[in-house]
């Protein structure tokens, strides 16, 4: 009997008869299981699947839930459940009844980019200054109005809103909003926010529709209730109003979406909104070891703003949480990859039992590189693989064009990005000419004076400027290394400026990704220095990237390490979890440390991250992180110290400061700390990749003499001979084939396990004998 798979505390909400109920409980205590089993139980009691609506945080969660229910009640019946995210469920509802609002049933859903393009064109048509009316900011503003149910009409009835936009020097925002809504409507399109806004409108304006769905959805269940926004909250309230068979489960300690308008008070007000609410609490965690539960409890206890909760587990104690420090982010990636490799071997675990969680998407690059080198398959969730992201492809397209101006796809991608006034008609003419002549488009561009192809002088000038720019990059490419060149290109092409000036979080994220790409190239160039016959030039790098994307191709093999942001990991669980980048300004994020509530949200995020782990959690941080191709001193995250000490095993003890290597502010005071916040490199001695600065060294020597070698104990250059097994910081494990030369020129030829043979100068190579 499936009910036997529940403890008594869980059984109570599952068996709860009609009427509103709420389950408030900590991570891993079985909230999602309660929801799932409650649905199965309702169906076993004769409730028709058609009468049950269940809202989950991801569609994947819905699929898994459905599968479990199908196991219990049979798959035929389970098919009839309405289950999914708010957006997917209400898009479906609007397909049936959106016609009442004038939408066709096959309405289009605009994604964010579609919305932004439309807004940009409206701004242009209205003749507004696009530097004042930035389309991405306007799109976000409109989105937040929609999520607060401020329609165009409501906007124009609210003098305060209009005044606020006028103060922000955007008095015509309301007009843009109006045009945008009209144009979407005319196009038969809804954006993401419309899916909730229009559902609300439909239920409000058409009582018969509301009645129909109230009758239909007699039982409503919501998972992750703590992260519903106002618009979602109102839909649930309207639908549940008649029968009040509403079951919500959530954990206020895991509310992590307030930046998207999620409102924690929804959970706090539940008892006020409905009569006779039954509140259930679960305390036993089934997911994690004692060490993980204890550590997570000790962290979240620091939040002032929370409901009282107890979480305990009868699971085994398990190993302590492992803390690891790396010199740089590249080495952090390498540590994670080799640790996953070791754990896999030792415990015979599939890749799918491992997850790497990070605060921001741009951190995935170093992890991806390291996993690839180790041939460990991975999958990135909720984002494109790093090299497939638009802004990265843009930079790479410029680089490809430098190496081969005949590369037509690269040319088309960037000839008018950033905008240079080279329109589609022009490109069409050039393409036609190129197809007819057998010459490349680039060759035609360079030959326009003798063969103008009917293009006017202005257009010819723009094209010629573009060609000249590419040629100038080619000249630099003769002398500069790939990093210097790529940095130059990112600036001179206008790409960086383009993303910088839009100033939205999305633009910043794109800039950060370009920064990450540059870091990767820098790393690559450094690595190539050790390779005897390599130049570290652009074509080598592009080849490396091309191979990387080749290897990334989906082989159909589903057993992969999961890489994702912590936000996406909500509700999931993995036996092994690596939380990387545990550094101040990164996690907690520099943008979220200004108020207590922001910091508490970051702490909840950390609580979510930790509580994903079943058997083992790893926390990693770096001493130095590459930003803009320069090393920045990093400070360990305050969250590390917030974990009660007894739950932690420090893999890299340094000194008698707990988990904390010396940082500049220890020596220079807070001034330097504030510079760190601005993410500028610290002035003074150029940072070395391998260890602390001289001032730090002196202090460290006093504390513990044996760790003071700036070279580190990793560098082994003697004793190499044919057959010696070695490990290289970038290329992984390998076997020495041959040693030649002497002194500074001593080289070793090594076959690496990932497939290639490299000749390394031992003077530079970071090799370790295995």
> Which residues of this protein are in contact with ligand ATP, per CB under 6 A?
5-7, 10, 25, 27-33, 251, 254, 286-287, 571, 573, 611
Q: Distance from first CA to last CA of the chain, Å, rounded?
A: 53
**342 and 565 in contact (C-beta within 8 Å)?**
no
Say how far apart CA 54 and CA 567 lie, in whole Å. 21
28 known member of a binding site: yes
Strand partners of residue 83: 54
Alpha-carbon span 67 to 636, nearest angstrom: 42
Annotated ligand binding at 29? The verdict is yes
**What's the closest the beta carbon of residue 254 comes to ligand ATP, in angstroms?**
6
Residue 353 interacts, among Mg ion, ligand ATP, none and using kind-specific CB cut-offs from 5 to 8 Å, with none
Residue nearest to Mg ion (CB): 32
CA distance 530 to 338: 21
Angle between helical axes of 390-403 and 482-492 (0-180°, round to 10): 110
Tally of CB atoms within 10 A around 672? 18
In three-state secondary structure terms, 555 is coil
- The encoded tokens of residue 594 equal 């200004």
Binding partner at 408 among ligand ATP, Mg ion, none, C-beta below 5 to 8 Å by kind: none
The token pair at 156 is 């124009």
Return the C-alpha torsion angle 132, 513, 597, 151, nearest 10: 40
Q: 182 — phi, psi (to 5°)?
A: -60, -45
Contacted by 33, from Mg ion, ligand ATP, none: CB < 5 to 8 Å by type: ligand ATP
Q: How far is the CB of 483 from ligand ATP (least distance, A)?
A: 42
Contacts of 700 (CB under 8 A, 6+ apart): 654, 655, 662, 692, 707, 708
User: If contact means CB under 5 to 8 A according to the sort of partner, which of ligand ATP, Mg ion, none does residue 6 touch?
Assistant: ligand ATP
- Return d(Cα 673, Cα 635) in angstroms, integer: 9
Residues paired with residue 621 on neighbouring β-strands, in sequence order: 325
Using alpha carbons, select from 241, 235, 271 the residue that is nearest to residue 24: 271
Distance CA 57, CA 249 (A): 12
Question: What does the alpha-carbon distance between residue 493 and residue 478 come to, in Å, rounded to a whole number?
Answer: 18
Alpha-carbon gap, residue 562 to 553, rounded angstroms: 15
Instruction: Say how far apart CA 116 and CA 134 lie, in whole Å.
Output: 10
DSSP E strands: which ranges in 255-413?
278-282, 321-326, 354-358, 378-380
**Can you list the alpha helix ranges (DSSP code H) found in 222-275?**
230-240, 265-268, 270-273
- The tokens for 660 are 């904390």
Between CA 38 and CA 405 the distance in angstroms is: 62
Q: Which residue from 600, 27, 535, 91 is spatially nearest to 293, judged by alpha carbons?
A: 27
Closer to Mg ion by CB, 247 or 538: give it.
247
Residue 31 annotated in ligand binding: yes
Nearer to Mg ion, 251 or 516 (CB): 251
> CA 206, CA 160: separation in Å to the nearest integer?
30
Task: Decide whether 286 or 417 has the Cβ nearer to ligand ATP.
Answer: 286
Copy the structure tokens of residue 429. 């003419």
Least CB distance from residue 61 to Mg ion, whole Å? 8
Of 4 and 670, CB closest to ligand ATP? 4
Helix (H, G, I), strand (E, B) or coil at 72: helix
30 binds, among Mg ion, ligand ATP, none (CB under 5 to 8 A by kind): ligand ATP
Q: Cβ 28 to Mg ion, closest distance in Å?
A: 8
CB of 98 to ligand ATP, least distance (A): 32
User: Least CB distance from residue 617 to ligand ATP, whole Å?
Assistant: 14
Q: What is the 3-state secondary structure (H, E, C) of 673-725?
A: HHHHHCCCCCCCCCCCCCCCCHHHHHHHHHHCHHHCCCCCCCCCCCCCCCCCE
Cβ closest to Mg ion, residue 32 vs residue 328:
32
Rounded to a whole number of angstroms, the minimum distance from the CB of residue 32 to Mg ion is 3
Contacted entry of Mg ion, ligand ATP, none for residue 661, CB cut-off 5 to 8 Å set by kind: none
Which residue in 314, 104, 93 sits closest to 189, CA to CA?
Answer: 104
| Sequence-separated (6 or more) residues with CB below 8 Å from residue 483 | 518, 521, 522, 524, 525, 629
SS3 for 296-317 is HHHHHCCCCCCCCCCCECCCCC
Q: Which of the 8 DSSP states describes residue 127?
A: T
Which residue number, 81 or 118, has a Cβ lying nearer to ligand ATP?
A: 81
Q: At what angle do helices 495-502 and 505-529 cross, to 10 degrees?
A: 150
Choose among ligand ATP, Mg ion, none what residue 493 binds, the Cβ cut-off being 5 to 8 Å by kind: none
CB-wise, 512 or 573, nearer to ligand ATP? 573
What is the smallest separation between the CB atom of 119 and Mg ion, expressed in angstroms? 36
Specify the residue, 256 or 422, whose C-beta has the smaller distance to Mg ion: 256
**From the list ligand ATP, Mg ion, none, partner contacted by residue 114 (C-beta under 5 to 8 A by kind):** none
Nearest CB to Mg ion, comparing residues 28 and 261: 28
Give the interface with Mg ion as residue ranges (CB under 5 A): 31-32, 571
Per partner kind, with CB cut-offs from 5 to 8 A, the member of ligand ATP, Mg ion, none near residue 627 is none
Q: Say which entry of Mg ion, ligand ATP, none residue 615 contacts (CB below 5 to 8 A, set by partner kind).
A: none
Find the shortest distance in angstroms from Cβ 565 to Mg ion: 17
Q: Residue 19: how many CA atoms within 13 Å on its side-chain side?
A: 10
Least distance in Å: CB of 571 to Mg ion?
A: 4
Give the shortest CB-80-to-ligand ATP separation in angstroms. 23
Catalytic residue annotation: 31-32, 223-224, 254, 612
Q: What is the largest CA-CA distance in the chain?
A: 89
Q: Which of the listed partners (ligand ATP, Mg ion, none) does 320 bind, with a CB threshold of 5 to 8 Å by partner kind?
A: none
- Distance (Å) of CA 455 to CA 4, 154, 411, 423: 78, 49, 18, 11
Q: What is the token pair recorded at 213?
A: 């769905």
Would you say 635 and 332 are in contact if contact means Cβ atoms under 8 Å apart? Answer: no
- Tell me which residue has tokens 């891993």: 28
Binding-site sequence positions: 25-32
Please enumerate, by residue number, every residue annotated as part of a binding site for ATP.
Answer: 25-32
């Amino acid at each position: 009997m499936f009910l036997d798979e529940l403890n008594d505390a869980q059984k109570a909400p599952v068996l709860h008869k009609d009427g509103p109920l709420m389950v408030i409980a900590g991570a891993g205590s079985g909230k999602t299981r309660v929801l799932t089993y409650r649905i199965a139980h309702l169906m076993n009691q004769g409730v028709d699947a058609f009468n049950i609506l269940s809202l989950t945080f991801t569609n994947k969660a819905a699929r898994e839930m459905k599968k479990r229910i199908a196991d219990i009640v049979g798959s035929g019946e389970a098919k009839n459940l309405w289950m999914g995210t708010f957006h997917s469920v209400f898009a479906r509802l609007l397909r049936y009844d959106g016609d009442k609002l004038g939408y066709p049933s096959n309405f289009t859903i605009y994604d964010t980019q579609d919305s932004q393009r439309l807004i940009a064109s409206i701004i242009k048509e209205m003749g507004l200054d696009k530097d004042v009316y930035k389309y991405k900011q306007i799109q976000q503003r409109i989105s937040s109005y929609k999520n607060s149910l401020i329609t165009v009409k409501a906007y124009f009835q609210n003098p305060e809103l209009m005044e606020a936009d006028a103060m922000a020097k955007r008095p015509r925002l309301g007009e843009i909003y109006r045009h945008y809504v009209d144009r979407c409507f005319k196009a038969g399109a809804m954006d993401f926010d419309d899916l909730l806004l229009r559902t609300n409108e439909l239920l409000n304006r058409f009582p018969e529709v509301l009645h129909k769905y109230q009758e239909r959805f007699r039982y409503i269940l919501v998972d992750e209730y703590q992260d519903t926004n106002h618009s979602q909250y109102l839909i649930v309230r309207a639908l549940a109003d008649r029968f009040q068979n509403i079951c919500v489960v959530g954990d206020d300690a895991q509310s992590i979406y307030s930046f998207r308008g999620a409102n924690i008070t929804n959970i706090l007000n539940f008892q006020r909104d409905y009569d006779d609410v039954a509140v259930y609490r679960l305390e036993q965690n089934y997911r994690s070891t004692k060490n993980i539960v204890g550590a997570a409890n000790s962290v979240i206890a620091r939040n002032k703003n929370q409901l009282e909760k107890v979480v305990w587990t009868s699971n085994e104690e398990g190993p302590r949480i492992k803390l690891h420090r790396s010199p740089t982010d590249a080495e952090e990636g390498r540590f994670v990859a080799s640790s996953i490799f070791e754990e896999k071997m030792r415990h015979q675990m599939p890749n799918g039992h491992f997850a790497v969680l990070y605060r921001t998407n741009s951190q995935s690059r170093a992890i991806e590189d390291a996993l690839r080198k180790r041939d460990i398959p991975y999958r990135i969730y909720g984002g494109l693989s790093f090299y497939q992201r638009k802004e990265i492809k843009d930079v790479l397209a410029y680089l490809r064009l430098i190496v081969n101006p005949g590369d037509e796809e690269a040319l088309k991608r960037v000839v008018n990005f950033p905008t240079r006034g080279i329109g589609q008609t022009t490109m069409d003419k050039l393409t036609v000419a190129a197809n007819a002549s057998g010459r490349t488009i680039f060759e035609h561009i360079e030959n326009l004076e003798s063969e103008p192809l009917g293009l006017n002088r202005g257009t010819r000038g723009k094209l010629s400027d573009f060609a000249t720019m590419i040629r100038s990059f080619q000249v630099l490419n003769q002398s500069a290394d790939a990093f210097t060149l790529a940095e130059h290109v990112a600036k001179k092409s206008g790409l960086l400026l383009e993303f910088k000036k839009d100033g939205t979080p999305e633009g910043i994220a794109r800039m950060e990704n370009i920064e990450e790409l540059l870091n990767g190239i820098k790393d690559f160039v450094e690595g190539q220095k050790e390779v005897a016959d390599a130049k570290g030039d652009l074509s080598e790098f592009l080849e490396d990237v091309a191979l990387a994307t080749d290897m990334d191709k989906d082989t159909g093999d589903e057993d992969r390490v999961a890489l994702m942001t912590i936000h996406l990991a909500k509700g999931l669980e993995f036996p092994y979890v690596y939380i990387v980048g545990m550094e101040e300004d990164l996690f907690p994020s520099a943008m979220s440390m200004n108020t207590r509530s922001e910091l508490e949200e970051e702490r909840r995020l950390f609580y979510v991250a930790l509580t994903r782990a079943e058997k083992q959690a790893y926390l990693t941080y770096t001493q130095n992180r590459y930003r803009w191709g320069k090393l920045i001193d990093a400070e360990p995250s305050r969250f590390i110290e917030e974990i009660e000490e007894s739950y932690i095993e420090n893999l890299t003890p340094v000194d008698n400061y707990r988990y904390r290597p010396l940082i500049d502010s220890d020596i220079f005071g807070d001034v330097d700390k504030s510079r760190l916040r601005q993410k500028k490199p610290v002035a003074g001695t150029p940072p070395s990749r391998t260890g602390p600065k001289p001032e730090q060294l002196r202090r460290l020597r006093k504390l513990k003499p044996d760790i003071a070698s700036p070279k580190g104990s990793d560098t082994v250059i003697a004793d190499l001979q044919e057959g010696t097994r070695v490990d290289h910081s970038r290329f992984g494990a390998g076997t020495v084939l041959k040693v030649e030369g002497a002194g500074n020129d001593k080289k070793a030829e090594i076959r690496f396990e990932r497939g290639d043979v490299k000749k390394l100068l031992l003077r530079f190579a970071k090799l370790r004998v295995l």
